[in-house]
Structure 1
Amino acid sequence: MATITQIRGALLEEAVLFLLNKIGYDTIDLNRAPRRDSEQMRSGHSGLEVRGRGTWHQIDAFAIWRHSPAFMYPLKLIVEAKCYNARRPVGVEVPRNVIGVLKDISENYFTLRRRQGRFHAPRYNYAAAIFSTSGFTSGAIEYALAHQVFLIQYENVPAIQPLIDAIQSFDDDCLVTTGREAISATRGILRAWLNNLELDQRHEYALSQRGIQLLRGSVTRACRNIRGSYFGMLQGRWPLHLLMDEPLPPAAFEEDSISCKLLGEESGEWRFVPMYAERGGERWFELEFSLPPLVAELVEQNWDDPVAVAAAKQQHFSYIDLSGVIGGVRRNIRLELDRDWLRRYLGRRDF
């Protein structure tokens, strides 16, 4: 039987997939997948299944990056999301399960034909990210980082809080059926409404009228109201989801490197803003974010790691490489930040 917590997690996963689409990821749907992927994906009893080296794995939230760089296989991303109640962080069992799946499907090599026989080769690079509305335990962070699984948390991020509140209001009264059918139905309905896809009418029979109205109304509306969604890598290795109610203004990015400062000491709602722009002006923006405390400590302690420092000047500046659409154009931007910001974040954040 599916719990309401599992269903809320599924709804958050669909919202994350929608936000990932804004920067260049496409949700993998078996019905629209290329024929060459048929040997590694199938429709299982409870949804999409992906073939690993040892067995098949159910992966409900799966995305592929549209723009593969040179010298890399296309990137596929496993998305796992948990929408727990406040003060219940994600424990180590979640990354442990994700890592097992990631390892198995990464080691599944496929047969390629040539004139004189066959040989085995990889077809994709695989990565995994875990998203949480309530943070992570220290054990979960350490285990995930050790196995290169990315962690994103949404605590104290105003731009996404209406969506979290809407998902949290989805309760047992929203359901008619139980089990995996309920998860598939809620996931399918939200995916269809967010992406203007044809709705499978069978899914509606799994939800009460209240559930249907909640998904069609407040959940869909709150997700679409996040018009600025950008993913970045702090120091080239630590992921951040940077959010805004409105898209980034093109006028602020005439150059590819922007100096920023940190705000949020008083409220605890942290955001990066441009160093040389006036509030309310055409170049002003506020990118909201949340960084797990242990990750912030690790970044601070390893600041001058030569692997993470791409050039001498970065020994004095933190940087975030941000990817997203700005003014209708896909951009890769570097936000340069005074080194002091991280110490302020660590010193003032209420852990």
Structure 2
Amino acid sequence: MARIGGGQLAGYVLEEIVAWMLLSSGYKLLTRAADDPDELVAGPNGLRVRGRGAEHQADVLGELIYVPPFSLPLRMFVEAKCHKSGAIGLAEVRNAHGVIHDVNQNWASKPHHGLPQQRYHYLYSMFSTSGFTHDAQEYAQAHQIVLVDLSTPSFKDLSMAIRDFARQLADAWVGDEFPTGWVRNELRRLLGTDLQATGGPANGALAGEILGGIVDDFAAFIVDDWKARMLLGFPAAPLILPMLVTDMAATLDALAQRPLMRVRLRHVGETETAGSWLIESSEHRVQLHFSLPDRIERWIANDPEKYRARRATFKQLLSDITIVHAAGQDVQVYRLVYDAADWRRG
């Protein structure tokens, strides 16, 4: 690979971080064709998934380690975009829908021999540090593509750290061919994602000498800072909520004692670090902060006369949030339930 742009490299880095997020949310990472020879193929640029009409690149592919009742096993394609500017548009989301439609029909092209076929239900999530256009969001909602907007205030420092890291790497490298494979492998080793090696460059020793310290420092920032701050929430809505906590150990301890926790949900407005929504338990032992995409926030706030009604409407979509937390093979499921009748204000 020739000289690499900072945006492209930042996208690769974000993919590694999202893979790490999946591990703590109850997913195992599928990394090799040997993990499922019937469905997966080793391609020239990494893992591919067989579809009915084509094979599709899977930069990050996770499988939920338990099967939801009355459902097929769930697998998740993850795509990460780290553009400095310019929201992700309709074309990228339309491509995601085409991929999912094809892989979910791959069983139709297989010969049948009387035995039940193992099938999976594939989903697609797209993470973006520059948000998504209105058309992209509308299309994604219609076709059940999950968009995760990392342009919100809660993730400002993470997005900046990724871009700074990519720029440091690009500036430090002196050769013509940037060692992308080496960087990704090192991040996987340090983050513990154990993804398949992408094929290190012949000058891997030089890469370690020049870039090793930069990669070590960034991985330490991710593990030490973000692992202690973030949980993913899954509401009954086409959203994933990356939620920040102030004390992870106390939060997990409280959730373990009350796996179904009744909470208060408040729209607290824009802040520099906390985002615009707050979830807290009645005893105030748990506090989680999250932000919503600008499009939703604008809809809620742009008409003062309808603000309270719109806020109440959206709270209903967030009234039952599932948190799946995994530490190795120990997977726990918690629910945060909000009922307006339980609160005088909110």
Quickly name the TM-score band, shorter chain normalised: 0.7 to 0.9
Contact 1:174 1:211 in 2 (8 A): yes
Counterpart residue number, 2:266: 262
Residue correspondence of structure 1 range 12-161 to structure 2 within 5 A: 12-30=14-32, 33-34=34-35, 37-85=36-84, 87-109=85-107, 111=110, 117-118=113-114, 121=117, 123-158=119-154, 160-161=155-156
- Aligned mates of 1:111, 1:92 — CA distance in 2: 32
Cα distance change of structure 1 residues 253 and 130 upon mapping to structure 2, 3 Å threshold: same
Give me the identity figure in percent.
25
Structure 1: unaligned runs, 5 residues or longer:
306-313, 345-351
Superposed CA offset, 1:228-266 (max 9, x none): 433323344433222335422423664313222325425
What is the aligned partner in structure 1 of residue 289 from structure 2? 288
2:305 aligned partner: none
User: In the superposition, relative to structure 1, how do residues 243 and 55 fare at CA in structure 2: closer, same or farther (>3 Å)?
Assistant: same
Judged with a 3 Å threshold, the aligned counterparts in structure 2 of structure 1 residues 207 and 149 are, in CA distance, closer, same or farther, namely: farther
CA gap of 1:21–1:70, structure 2 versus 1, over 3 A, is same
Paired AA for residue 163 in structure 2: Q
Structure 2 partner of 1:167: 162
Q: 1:330 aligns to what SS in structure 2?
A: strand
- Residues 128 and 149, structure 1, Cα contact 8 Å, conserved in 2: yes
7-16 vs 217-226, greater mean Cα deviation: 217-226
In structure 2, which of residues 261, 282, 285 is the aligned counterpart of residue 276 of structure 1?
282
1:297-339 CA distance string (max 9 Å, x none):
49x879879xxxxxxxx96x84132213399761221231649
Matched length: 317
Higher helix proportion (structure 1 or 2): 2
Query: Residues 220 and 92 of structure 1: is their aligned pair in 2 closer, same or farther, counting only changes over 3 Å?
Result: farther
Residues in 1 aligned to 2:175 and 2:73: alpha-carbon distance in whole angstroms: 38
Whole-angstrom distance in 2 between the partners of 1:259 and 1:92: 36
Structure-2 separation of matches of 1:70 and 1:27: 21
Per-residue deviation, 1:118: 3.8
CA RMSD of aligned residues (A): 3.6
Which residue in 2 is equivalent to 1:185?
182
Offset of residue 157 of structure 1: 4.0
Secondary structure, counterpart of 1:134 in structure 2: coil
Amino acid at match of 2:235: L
Of 244, 251, 265, the residue aligned with 2:254 is 251
Which residue number in structure 2 is paired with residue 215 of structure 1?
Answer: 215
Q: For residue 196 of structure 1, report the CA deviation from its aligned partner.
A: 7.1
Aligned-partner SS, 2:19: helix
Q: Which moved more, 1:129-138 or 1:228-237?
A: 228-237
State the distance in 1 between where 2:92 and 2:171 align.
Answer: 27
TM-score (norm. length: structure 1): 0.76
Question: Shift of the alpha carbon at 1:174?
Answer: 4.6
Q: 1:194 to 1:177 in 2, by over 3 A?
A: farther
2:303 match: none
- Secondary structure of 1:238's match? coil
